[in-house]
Amino acid sequence: MKSSLLLLRIAAAGLLGAGLVAGPSTAASAAEPAPLQAASTPWLWPRSGLEAVSATGANDVWAVGYQGYQGIDWSVPFWGAGTIHVLPPKPAVVRWTGSSWRTYDPPGGGGDAVLQDVKARTPSDVWVTGTLRPHTQQSAPYLAHWDGTRWQQVQGPDEWCAPRTPAADSTGAWFGCGNDLYRWQDGQWTLQETGRPPNACCVAVTDISVVSDDNAWAAATWGLLKWDGQTWSKVPDFDSGYRFTRVLAASADEVWAVGLHNTGGLTSEQVMFRWDGQTWQEMAPPPGDEAMFRTGDGTMWVLAGYLRQLYRLDGSSWTQVTVPKPDDGRITGATGVPGSPELWVVGKTPNVPLVINNR
The one-letter amino acid at 11: A
Q: Give the strand pairing for 232-234 and 242-251.
A: unpaired
Report, as an integer, the average pLDDT of 293-312. 93
3-state secondary structure 226-275: EECCCCEEECCCCCCCEEEEEEEEEECCEEEEEEEEEEECCEEEEEEEEE
Angle at 350 (CA atoms; ends 39, 308), nearest 5 degrees: 65
Is 23's pLDDT higher than 50?
Answer: no
Task: Give bridge partners of residue 215 from the DSSP assignment.
Answer: 212
pLDDT at 19: 37
| Predicted model pTM | 0.88
Q: Which tens digit of pLDDT belongs to each residue from 67-102?
A: 999 887 778 887 888 878 888 999 999 999 999 999
Phi then psi dihedrals of residue 4, to 5 deg:
-60, -40
* Least confident interval from 22-36, 141-155, 184-198, 321-335: 22-36
**Domain limits, the chain:** 3-71+161-357
Give domain 3-71+161-357's CATH architecture: 6 Propeller (2.120)
Span 123-160, pLDDT tens digits: 999 999 999 999 999 999 999 999 999 999 999 998 88
